């Protein structure tokens, strides 16, 4: 039987957006019962804004609270692994912001821990949800698009000095990577969600925009498992901000909306090759039901999955795929070589992609 689940949000930065976009619009499914943050001012500010009385500074206290069903981890990346494993061990369901963890070794350990856990784990990839992306996915999955030829992903965003005044950002040890790992991870996830697994990567990373340790500009040439080709480019130094994903299939050209932080929401440009393809697309989308974008749908589907009404909308396997690309990309860039996927424990960066001098 379905019921309202009690949530504890840990970290009041993006955690606030989880409340606004994810939990409040799904008030029949979730109640935010507790907030946790090391910063008492932020804790009070967000607690007052949403009338959340239970405010905790020490994460471990949450684990012992029997009335908390879900722990939503929205802390900086370096804290994710221990919080997720502890929360699973305590029998809680877990939501965790990207990046789920900071290495393939850690993601494999989490996948192992999930096998015996009582609760379910859902990493965040909120850009996957909305009418535009889901219509594209429906057309591709129905086999209408046909053979994939090639595609491009452009993540053209902007970050300036104030962004890096938050101490954990821009540093290998705490952010674990730059635009590749922390920003373009969303559009790259969309690409593989729609086009399938990557087989080979030749990537380059550079720091060109801000005086930071991690990269802020990247580019790669990729070969997909299907044989299709792709190129990914991203920077945090763009004057205007867009996210653009363009996919070329045998029967259809698909181009995302360009809204940088919500490319899935508005309808995408879908160009059928001929009238017959158009008729098949019209038929596939004939009874389309509106899909709210981002966290609203991701959280609603998490609730459904917990009560056996569907699959988890994002899984730790999806996180692994994203982190495998990150690992391959850094390795390719530092060795000036092509990297073939999948990557396992024998890969030199399996334990960490962070350069040794910054660990
Ligand atoms: N999905 C997205 O679009 C998106 C957007 C922004 C950030 N993020 C991710 O969300 C995470 C947080 O980013 P942010 O921008 O909100 O950072 P932030 O610095 O604004 O907020 C993080 C909060 O966590 C608190 N915190 C740190 N360690 C803690 C601990 N041990 N216990 C309790 N609280 C702790 C900090 O005090 C801070 O208030 C990162 O992993 C980031 O990559 C995702």
Among the atoms of ligand 1, which is closest to the Cα of residue 57?
Answer: 33
Distance of CA 263 to the CA centre of its chain: 13
pLDDT tens digit sequence for 70-120:
999 999 999 999 999 999 999 999 999 999 999 999 999 999 999 999 999
| Domains of the chain, start order | 5-125+298-312 (3.40.50.720), 127-292 (3.30.360.10)
Largest CA distance in the chain: 61
C-beta of 134 in contact with ligand 1 (< 6 A) = no
pLDDT confidence tier of residue 56, bands split at 50, 70 and 90: very high
Ligand 1 atom having least distance to the Cα of 39: 37
Say yes or no: CB of residue 78 within 6 Å of ligand 1.
no
295 CB near ligand 1 (under 6 Å)? no
Q: Quote the ligand 1 centre to 202 CA distance (angstroms).
A: 31
The predicted structure's pLDDT at residue 81: 98
- If one residue of 8, 61, 75, 186 were mutated to test the ligand 1 pocket, choosing by the most ligand atoms within 8 A of its CB, it would be 75
- For a mutational test of ligand 1's pocket, the pick from 8, 9, 11, i.e. the residue with the most ligand atoms closer than 8 A to its C-beta, is 11
Rounded Cα distance, 29 and 298, in Å: 12
- pLDDT for res 2: 81
pLDDT digits (tens, 9 = 90+) for 183-204: 999 999 999 999 999 999 999 9
Between helix 275-284 and helix 131-141 the angle, nearest 10°, is: 120
User: pLDDT value at position 30?
Assistant: 98
Q: What is the spatial distance between Cα 296 and Cα 335, in angstroms, rounded to a whole number?
A: 41
User: How does DSSP assign 81-124, residue by residue?
Assistant: HHHHHHHHHTT-EEEEPSSS-SSHHHHHHHHHHHHT-SS-EEE-
123's CB contacts (< 8 A; 6+ apart) are: 95, 96, 97, 98, 100, 314, 315, 316, 318, 319
Q: How close is the Cα of 26 to the center of ligand 1, in Å?
A: 22
Output the six-digit token pair for 264.
């899935």
Query: Which residues touch 157 (CB under 8 Å, ≥6 apart)?
Result: 179, 183, 234, 235, 236, 238, 241, 243, 260
Whether the per-residue pLDDT at 149 is higher than 80: the answer is yes
In which band, very low, low, confident or very high, does the pLDDT at 65 lie, cut at 50, 70 and 90?
very high
Q: What percent of the chain has pLDDT over 90?
A: 99
In the sheet where 198-206 sits, what is the strand order? 269-272, 252-255, 237-249, 148-158, 229-235, 217-224, 198-206, 339-340
Average pLDDT over residues 210-225: 98
Q: Is the CB of 42 under 6 A from ligand 1?
A: yes
State the average pLDDT for the chain.
Answer: 98
According to the model, what pLDDT value does residue 197 have?
98
Distance 190 CA to ligand 1 centre (A): 22
Distance 255 CA to ligand 1 centre (A): 31
How many angstroms separate the alpha carbon of residue 41 from the centre of ligand 1? Answer: 15
Collect all residues with Cβ–Cβ distance below 8 Å to 187 and sequence separation of at least 6: 127, 153, 154, 155, 232, 234, 243, 245, 263
Ligand 1 in reach of 72 Cβ (< 6 A): no
pLDDT tens digits, one per residue of 23-45:
999 999 999 999 999 999 999 99
Kindly list the distances between the CA atom of residue 250 and the CA atoms of 30, 148, 220, 316, in Å, as whole numbers in the listed order.
Answer: 43, 6, 23, 31
Cα–Cα distance, 180 to 124 (Å, whole number): 16
Percent above pLDDT 70 for the chain: 100
- How does pLDDT run across 227-245, given as a tens digit for each residue? 999 999 999 999 999 999 9
User: What's the CA gap between 112 and 215, in Å, rounded?
Assistant: 31
> What's the 14 CA to ligand 1 centre distance in angstroms?
6
Ligand 1 pocket test, pick from 61, 76, 189 with the greatest ligand atom count within 8 Å of Cβ, gives 76
CA distances from 142 to 145, 264, 290, 321, 351 (A): 8, 19, 19, 23, 38
Ligand 1: which of 10, 12, 13, 54 to mutate, most ligand atoms within 8 Å of CB? Answer: 13
Determine which residue's CA is closest to atom 38 belonging to ligand 1.
Answer: 11
The per-residue pLDDT for 144 is 98
161-178: average pLDDT: 96
Q: How far is CA 80 from CA 32, 96, 126, 288, in A?
A: 20, 7, 17, 37
Measured from the Cβ of residue 318, the count of other Cβ atoms closer than 10 Å reads: 19
């Amino acid at each position: 039987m379905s019921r309202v689940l009690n949530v504890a949000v840990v970290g009041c930065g993006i955690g606030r957006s989880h409340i606004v976009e994810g939990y409040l619009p799904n008030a029949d499914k979730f109640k935010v019962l507790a907030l946790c943050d090391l910063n008492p001012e932020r804790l009070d500010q967000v607690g007052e804004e949403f009338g959340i009385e239970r405010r905790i500074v020490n994460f471990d206290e949450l684990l012992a609270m029997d009335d908390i069903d879900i722990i939503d981890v929205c802390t900086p990346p370096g804290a994710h692994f221990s919080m997720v494993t502890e929360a699973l061990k305590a029998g809680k369901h877990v939501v965790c912001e990207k990046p789920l963890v900071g290495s393939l070794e850690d993601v494999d350990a989490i996948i192992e821990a999930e096998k015996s856990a009582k609760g379910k784990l859902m990493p965040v990839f909120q850009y996957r949800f909305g009418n535009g992306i889901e219509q594209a996915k429906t057309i591709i999955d129905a086999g209408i698009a046909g053979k994939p030829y090639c595609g491009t992903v452009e993540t053209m965003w902007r970050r300036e000095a104030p962004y890096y005044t938050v101490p954990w950002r821009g540093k290998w040890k705490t952010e674990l990577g730059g635009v590749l790992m922390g920003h373009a991870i969303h559009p790259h996830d969309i690409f593989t969600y729609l086009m399938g697994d990557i087989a080979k990567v030749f990537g380059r990373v550079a720091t060109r925009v801000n005086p930071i340790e991690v990269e802020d500009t990247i580019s790669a040439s990729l070969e997909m498992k299907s044989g299709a080709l792709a190129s990914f480019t991203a920077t945090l130094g763009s004057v205007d901000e867009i996210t653009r994903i363009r996919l070329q299939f045998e029967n259809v050209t698909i181009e995302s909306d360009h809204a940088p932080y919500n490319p899935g929401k508005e309808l995408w440009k879908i160009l059928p090759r001929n009238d017959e393809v158009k008729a098949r697309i019209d038929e596939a989308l004939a009874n389309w039901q509106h899909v709210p974008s981002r966290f609203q749908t991701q959280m609603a589907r998490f609730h459904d999955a917990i009560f056996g009404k569907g699959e988890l909308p994002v899984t730790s396997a999806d996180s692994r795929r994203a982190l495998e690309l990150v690992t391959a990309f850094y390795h390719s860039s530092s060795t000036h070589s092509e990297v073939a996927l999948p990557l396992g424990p024998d890969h030199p960066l399996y334990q960490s992609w962070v350069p040794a001098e910054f660990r």
